[in-house]
A and B are shown apart, each in its own frame.
Chain A
């Protein structure tokens, strides 16, 4: 470009407006017809007051923005485009989605380059969303956590419930009315964790509450994600990988009831239990209680029956035993009584026999005592008779013998009789009645008696010359 002077000499200076008008003319000439363009809405920039929308459109390659242009959707176009878009995609026009749109490439002096969007092909976005959903599923499956929540065991009584919902939502209200109005009187302990439930903000809102619940998970049996009553636009958040991953890998069973009529979202796929409507969720929970209740009642019934059977069996056994016992004791006592009777009889017999024997013996002794003395006396009498006989027998001899000796003695006696001596003139002198044999020596003056054959002569001793 030469030096400054040259430049100033040849320099043609345009006002900004001239330049921009020039560009604008060029754009009008070359970009007179609209083009179909693919881009991502990075920012929606909807101005509710005017009703116009100025989305930031970007094109990313590997996540980096390679191109960025501001878009414009005028209010009238926006209304029609949104209606069509939401009808097909069930998603609102929002940040982060890819759209294929028909736009005029415009350049105005005032606003510069912009793309005036006059139409959006919702099928493209639908495909993009489906692609995102497929990607989410594939990632979760690759990571091996797709079924993690589904294989968690549902507690027998899911009673303590962490509910992620909005207290203004009809779904939450339906759930609570159905839960608390259950006809069996089951009590549920619920705690609401307020969250945005649809649209782009829902992902982070729900995730944040899931993280909160995870910290105090010991207080809960299950987590409910409840939505319903509003329109069904903005459900793509439930296909989001981050949210779906949090649900899939959540340590408590997640029960989803996000109420919509479109295809099942990934969150619903990975949730432990999915029911379409919050009311169905409530019925499911009541059903769990009912099942448990019925199990307990059935068990109680079974227990009752079993106990009754056992008791009846034992009672009849016991009755039989009592009867057997009574019979046995009767038999036993009868036997014992018989034995006792026998024993008594045998005692009586023995006593009678003994008494009889003793009686016989006594009779015998009596006989002996009666007859014995007679016999003894007779014996003695016999002996006496014998003696008498003997005496009689021997008497003759003895008598003769004795009489002979008596004769001799008589002769002797006769010969010795002092009379015969006296006859021969001898006399017997006695002193004090005794014959004067040697030794008897009377003194002078003693009186003596002299017997003679004819009589006695009394003498007095005058002299004694015996020596």
Chain B
């Protein structure tokens, strides 16, 4: 899997694959390949989500710590 892919590209590709699967507009020959790709994309997106969530929470909690620190200084 390409490391340059971002979440949006990944989700678009994933949605395409899922749509293909849902519509059964996918051949048996490429099915396993596509499912394998979808699983990879899901894994990637999930980890991306988790890391993003953690990062955001960490940034926001840092922000409130800074506020408190500033209050103490003033």
Does A299 touch B at the CB level, under 8 Å? no
How far is it, in angstroms, between the C-alpha of A380 and the C-alpha of B28 when the chains are bound?
8
Partner of B49, one of A341, A362, A377, A379: A362
Of A188-196, A268-276, A344-352, which stretch is located at the interface?
A: A344-352
**CB closest chain-A residue, reference B74:** A333
Verify A362–B45 contact, CB threshold 8 A.
yes
Which of B15, B24, B56 has its CB near the most chain A CB atoms (within 10 A)?
B56
Verify A348–B60 contact, CB threshold 8 A.
yes
Question: Hey, which chain B residues are within 8 Å of A340, CB to CB?
Answer: 63, 67
Q: Within the complex, what minimum Cβ distance (angstroms) separates B27 from chain A?
A: 9
Of A61-69, A178-186, A290-298, A367-375, which stretch is located at the interface?
A: A367-375
Partner of B42, one of A347, A352, A365, A377: A365
**CB closest chain-A residue, reference B14:** A365
- B37-65 CB contact bits vs A (8 Å, 1 = yes)? 01100100110010011001100100110
Verify B52–A368 contact, CB threshold 8 A.
no
Verify B35–A369 contact, CB threshold 8 A.
yes
- Chain A interface size band reads 20 to 34
Partner of B31, one of A348, A366, A376: A376
Question: Hey, which chain A residues are within 8 Å of B5, CB to CB?
Answer: none
How far is it, in angstroms, between the C-alpha of A379 and the C-alpha of B53 when the chains are bound?
39
Verify B46–A369 contact, CB threshold 8 A.
no
Q: Within the complex, what minimum Cβ distance (angstroms) separates B9 from chain A?
A: 14
How far is it, in angstroms, between the C-alpha of A375 and the C-alpha of B18 when the chains are bound?
13
**CB closest chain-A residue, reference B15:** A365
Verify B24–A379 contact, CB threshold 8 A.
yes
How far is it, in angstroms, between the C-alpha of A359 and the C-alpha of B57 when the chains are bound?
17
**CB closest chain-B residue, reference A336:** B67
Does A385 touch B at the CB level, under 8 Å? no
Tally the A-B contacts, defined by beta carbons under 8 Å.
69
Q: Within the complex, what minimum Cβ distance (angstroms) separates B62 from chain A?
A: 10
Q: Within the complex, what minimum Cβ distance (angstroms) separates A345 from chain B?
A: 8
**CB closest chain-A residue, reference B28:** A380
**CB closest chain-B residue, reference A341:** B64
Question: Hey, which chain A residues are within 8 Å of B46, CB to CB?
Answer: 359, 362
Question: Hey, which chain B residues are within 8 Å of A83, CB to CB?
Answer: none
How far is it, in angstroms, between the C-alpha of A337 and the C-alpha of B69 when the chains are bound?
13
Verify A376–B26 contact, CB threshold 8 A.
yes
Verify A373–B31 contact, CB threshold 8 A.
yes
Verify B18–A365 contact, CB threshold 8 A.
yes
Q: Within the complex, what minimum Cβ distance (angstroms) separates B68 from chain A?
A: 10
**CB closest chain-B residue, reference A375:** B24
Verify B63–A373 contact, CB threshold 8 A.
no
Q: Which of B21-36 contact A (CB under 8 A)?
A: 21-22, 24, 26, 28, 31-32, 35
Given contacts A348-B56, A359-B46, A365-B38, contact A372 B63 (CB under 8 A): no
Verify B22–A372 contact, CB threshold 8 A.
yes
How far is it, in angstroms, between the C-alpha of A372 and the C-alpha of B16 when the chains are bound?
13
Q: Within the complex, what minimum Cβ distance (angstroms) separates A70 from chain B?
A: 117
Verify A369–B31 contact, CB threshold 8 A.
no
Question: Hey, which chain B residues are within 8 Å of A364, CB to CB?
Answer: 18
Does A423 touch B at the CB level, under 8 Å? no
Verify B42–A369 contact, CB threshold 8 A.
yes
Question: Hey, which chain A residues are within 8 Å of B32, CB to CB?
Answer: 373
Q: Which of A63-121 contact B (CB under 8 A)?
A: none
How far is it, in angstroms, between the C-alpha of A134 and the C-alpha of B58 when the chains are bound?
115
Given contacts A362-B42, A365-B42, A372-B22, contact A377 B14 (CB under 8 A): no
**CB closest chain-B residue, reference A345:** B60
Question: Hey, which chain A residues are within 8 Å of B57, CB to CB?
Answer: 348, 351
Verify A337–B67 contact, CB threshold 8 A.
yes
**CB closest chain-B residue, reference A334:** B71
Could you write out 12 A-B pairs with CB less than 8 Å apart?
A344-B64, A351-B56, A358-B11, A358-B49, A359-B46, A361-B11, A362-B42, A365-B38, A365-B42, A369-B17, A373-B21, A376-B26
B residues near A (Cβ < 8 Å) are 11, 14-15, 17-18, 21-22, 24, 26, 28, 31-32, 35, 38-39, 42, 45-46, 49, 52-53, 56-57, 60, 63-64, 67, 71
5 A-B pairs with least C-beta separation: A372-B21, A369-B38, A351-B56, A344-B60, A365-B18
